[in-house]
Structure 1
């Protein structure tokens, strides 16, 4: 299936959860927020959130500074 992560296209296996995708692509977990189709997914639901063909995923990372 095709999904977009921060406007980059990826072809991945069907039946993935958000957590499986994060692990397969070694995306950062600490300090990260993921939104699927503009809906933020709480970390406790990453392993239960099923991805579908055409989903758009946004990855936001916390940046410390001052």
Structure 2
């Protein structure tokens, strides 16, 4: 199935959760945030949030500063 990830169309497995997607990308989940279709998905929901065909997923690195 195809989704839009950070501005590019990519192919992913069916029945993939947001959590599994982040793991497959080998991203450090402690330092990122994810939005699906322009809505932030809380990390506590990632394991239950299934990606679907055509969704737009944006992943952001969190940066601390002053």
- After TM superposition, the score normalised by the length of structure 1 is 0.89
Shifted more, 25-34 versus 51-60: the winner is: 25-34
Does 2:57 match 1:52? Answer: no
Residue 54 of structure 1 and its aligned partner are, at CA, apart by: 0.6
- Describe the SS at the equivalent of 1:46: helix
Question: Following TM superposition, where does structure 1 have runs of at least 4 consecutive aligned residues deviating by more than 2 angstroms?
Answer: none
1:65 is matched with 65
What pairs with 1:8-19 in structure 2 (closer than 5 Å)? 8-19=8-19
- Describe the SS at the equivalent of 2:30: coil
Structure 1 unaligned spans of 5+: none
Q: Which has a greater percent of helix?
A: 2
- After TM superposition, the score normalised by the length of structure 2 is 0.89
Question: In structure 2, how many angstroms separate the alpha carbons of the residues matched to 1:27 and 1:55?
Answer: 19
